[in-house]
A and B are shown apart, each in its own frame.
Chain A
Amino acid sequence: MRIVVASGKGGTGKTTVATSLALAAAEWEAVRVLDCDVEAPNAALFLHPDLSQRKEVGILLPVVDETLCTHCGRCAEVCEYHAIAVIGKKTLVFPELCHGCGSCTLNCPEKAISERLDVMGVLESGPTPGGIDFARGVMNVGEPMAVPIIRELKKWNDMSLRARSAKQSPPIVEEIALGKNAHRNDHESGRLLRREERPPRNDMIEIRDSPPGASCPVVETLRGADFALLVTEPTPFGLHDLKQVAEIARELGIPAGVVVNRDGIGDNAVEAWCAEAGLPILMRIPMERRFAEAIASGKTLVEAAPEYREKFSALLENIRTRVAV
C-alpha cells in the first residue's frame, strides 16, 4: 500500500504526519519511507536513517561527435526545448534547457549523438534505528528540475524491492500468501499484528513525503499511489492550496483524506469545504505550543506526544479500509 502525504501549502505538517505515521505503522508492519521533497528533504532529520547507500541520478544529455556531425540541423528541429542548436559549423547543447528526452539522439541521421549522465542529485537510502526502510532524493543546489530525481527515487526503490523478493525461494511464496491472509483476518477481527507476525516485505507500507505545491513534482510523487493523505491547516491559505492538491488526486483517481493540523487556529472553511467536496477528515491535530516546540527540536509527534501512536495506528487502519474499497 502506497500512501502519499501531500499538502499544497508548505509547512502544514506533511513531514510531521509522514514520520509519525511511519513510526506508528512500523510497530506492527514493514514500512518504507520515501522522502520525495528533493528540494527540501527533511524526513531524515526526524527518522535518523543510516544513509549508507548512494546513487547519483540525473538526466541523459546529448554529446555530439563533431567528427560525425554534418550540421544538418535535424537535432535542433526535433528538440521541443531549444536545447540543441546548429550555428554555422558547430552543434551546441544547452544543458540547462535539456529535459533528457533522447529525441535528438534518436533522430540524428548520422548517429553522431551519444549521451552522458548529467548529475542533478543523489539518491540515498538505509534503515532507520526503528527498522524502517528509508530512501530520499537530494537535488543539487542550482538545479531546476526535481521531477527526474523523484522519478528515479521511485524506480530505485521498486528495483531494490524486486531484488529482495527475487532472493526468496519459491516455498516462501506460499508463506507470503498465508501471511497476507492471516494479516487480513487479523485486520478484520480488529487485532493488530505483532512485530514477529509482520507480513512479508512485498506487502509493505510505503509512505511518500511529498513536496509542497501542486505542480509536476507533486504529480510525480502521487503517480502510482493508493492513497493521498492531504495535510492542511484551517486558514484561507491552507484551504486554497488544499483544493489544488485535492484536484490532482482526483484527476489521478487516487482516493484522498484530510488531516487538519493546528486545529483551532483560523476558521471553519476547511471543514465546510471538505464536507461539500466529500473529502473525509481523518485526523485533527490541535494547535499546541508543546507540539510546535518538540517538532522544532527534531522530535516526531509520536515521540513528543505518545498518545498519538494509537491515533496514527487508527489512521492507518482507516486508510487501509478506504484503499480496499
Chain B
Amino acid sequence: MKQLVILSGKGGTGKTSVAAAFAHLAAQSGLAGKVVLADADVDAANLELVLQPNLREEQDFKGGKVAVIDPETCAACGDCQAVCRFDAIHPHPQPLSQGERGEYWVDPIACDGCAACVYQCPTQSISMRERIAGKFYFSESRYGPLYHARLFPGQENSGKLVTLVKQRARLQALNEGRELVIVDGPPGIGCPVIAAVSGANLALIVAEPTVAGVHDMRRVLQTVQHFGVRAMVVINKADVYPAGTEEIESFCRENGIETVGRIPFDLTVASAMVAGEAVTAYRPEAAVSVAIRQVWERVLSSLLEDK
C-alpha cells in the first residue's frame, strides 16, 4: 500500500482540484476499487464539494480541554491570570454590584487547555472540560471511500484530526488490500502539514509560478525533505508567468527534484468546481485535463517503482 500526499505551501494553487482529478483517473484505471481518499485539509475541507459523497459515519472529535472557572467559589485573587501564558484569563468585563466578588473568566478561544491555572487556584475553583473541536466523517464517493473531517472554526489540534483521518484511511486500505491512499493536504508547513506528510511514500507539490508560489514551494519542499519524504513538483497555471515556471524547473533540477509537468491556466477548473466534478471528468478533452492525466501517469508509475 502506497500513500501519496498532495501539498503546496501556498494556498489556492490547486491541490484539491488535482486530488479530485487523481481520484477520478484512478477509478478509471486498473486501480479502480483499490484507492482510498483522505482530505487532510480539515480547516477548509473541500474535496467533498467535488466528490459529493454519501455520508456513512460521523463522529465527534474531542480536541483537548478548556478551563472553566466556578464564579461561586472564585475569590478573584487573579493568580490564574498571572500564570496564564495564553492571555486567556481576564477579570469579568461587567463591573459587578457592590459586595459581589469580581470573578475571573476564561476566554475559551484563547485557552490552550494547559491547566496551569487549575493548579494555582487557591480555592480549587477551576476545572478542565473536554471540548468537541470538530467532526470526523467517513463517506462513500463515486471514486472510492473518502475520509474527511471538519475542524470547528477557531479550534486547535488540527494535526491530531489530520492524523485520525489518515489513520482510518490507511486502516481501510490495509484491511481491504487497497493499493493507494491519496491524501489531499493542507496549505502551509505547520502541524497539519507535518501530520499529512508523515508516512507518505511520495509528496506531490502543486506549485504556482508566482513570486509567492515559488517562495512557499521552497519552504514546503524543505519541510517534506526534513521528514525524509520524496517529493515531486507539478507546476499549475504554468503559462501565467513563464519566468516563474522556468525558475521552478531550474530550482528543481539543481536540487534533484523531478518536475512532472506543466498544467495550463484554465477557467474550466472553476466551472468543474461549480458543477461538482473533477475537471478530468467534466471536460476530459480540455488542455488542463490532458495535462493532469499525464502528471497522474508519471506520479503513479513513480509510486509503483518505489520499493
A contact residues vs B (CB 8 Å cutoff): 7-12, 15, 37, 39-40, 42, 45-46, 78, 80-81, 99-103, 106-107, 139, 141-147, 151, 211-219, 223, 235-237, 240-241, 244-245, 247-248, 251-252, 262, 265-267, 287, 289, 292-293, 295-298
Contacts and interface: CB of A to CB of B under 8 A. Distances in A.
B46 interface: yes
A296 B241 contact: yes
A142 B273 contact: no
Interface of B: 8-13, 16, 41-46, 49, 64-65, 83, 85-87, 109-110, 112-116, 119-120, 128, 151, 153-156, 158-159, 186-194, 208-213, 215-216, 219, 222-223, 226-227, 237, 240-241, 243-244, 265, 267, 270-271, 273-274, 276
Given A215-B154, A236-B273, A295-B210, A40 B10 contact: yes
A134 to B, nearest CB: 16
Nearest to B43: A213
A213 B86 CA distance: 21
A146 B155 CA distance: 14
B68 to A, nearest CB: 14
B277 to A, nearest CB: 11
A240 to B, nearest CB: 6
Given A99-B114, A266-B270, A298 B65 contact: no
A106 B159 CA distance: 28
Among A10, A236, A251, A297, residue most surrounded by chain B Cβ atoms (within 10 Å): A10
Given A240-B44, A244-B44, A293 B115 contact: no
A80 B155 contact: no
A97 to B, nearest CB: 11
Contacts of B11: 7, 9-12, 40, 212-213
Where chain B touches its partner, the secondary structure class is loop
A141 B209 contact: no
A102 B223 contact: no
Contacts of A80: 64-65, 113-115, 128
15 contacts: A40-B187, A99-B114, A101-B114, A101-B116, A106-B119, A142-B222, A144-B190, A212-B44, A213-B187, A213-B188, A219-B110, A236-B49, A236-B273, A296-B208, A298-B211
Given A212-B187, A241-B46, A295-B210, A99 B112 contact: yes
B209 A296 contact: yes
B122 to A, nearest CB: 13
Given A106-B119, A247-B153, 14 more contacts: A9-B46, A11-B10, A42-B212, A42-B216, A141-B222, A213-B11, A215-B156, A240-B46, A241-B46, A244-B44, A265-B267, A265-B270, A266-B270, A297-B211
A237 B265 contact: no
Contacts of B210: 295-297
Contacts of B10: 10-11, 40, 42
Contact of B274 (A102, A103, A151, A235): A235
Given A80-B65, A139-B189, A215 B114 contact: no
Contacts of B186: 213
Contacts of A292: 237, 240, 265
A88 to B, nearest CB: 25
Contact of B12 (A10, A107, A289): A10
Contacts of A245: 153
Given A214-B44, A215-B156, A10 B65 contact: no
Contacts of B237: 292
B282 to A, nearest CB: 13
Contact of A15 (B16, B119, B212, B227): B212
A265 B213 CA distance: 21
A151 B271 CA distance: 39
Contacts of B13: 10-11
B209 A102 contact: no
Contacts of A247: 153-154
A265 to B, nearest CB: 4
Contacts of A252: 109
A267 B43 CA distance: 22
A39 B241 contact: no
A287 B64 CA distance: 42
B85 A8 contact: no
B115 A216 contact: no
Contact of A11 (B12, B113, B158): B12
Given A297-B211, A298-B211, A39 B188 contact: yes
B214 to A, nearest CB: 9
Contacts of A81: 114
Among B43, B65, B116, residue most surrounded by chain A Cβ atoms (within 10 Å): B43
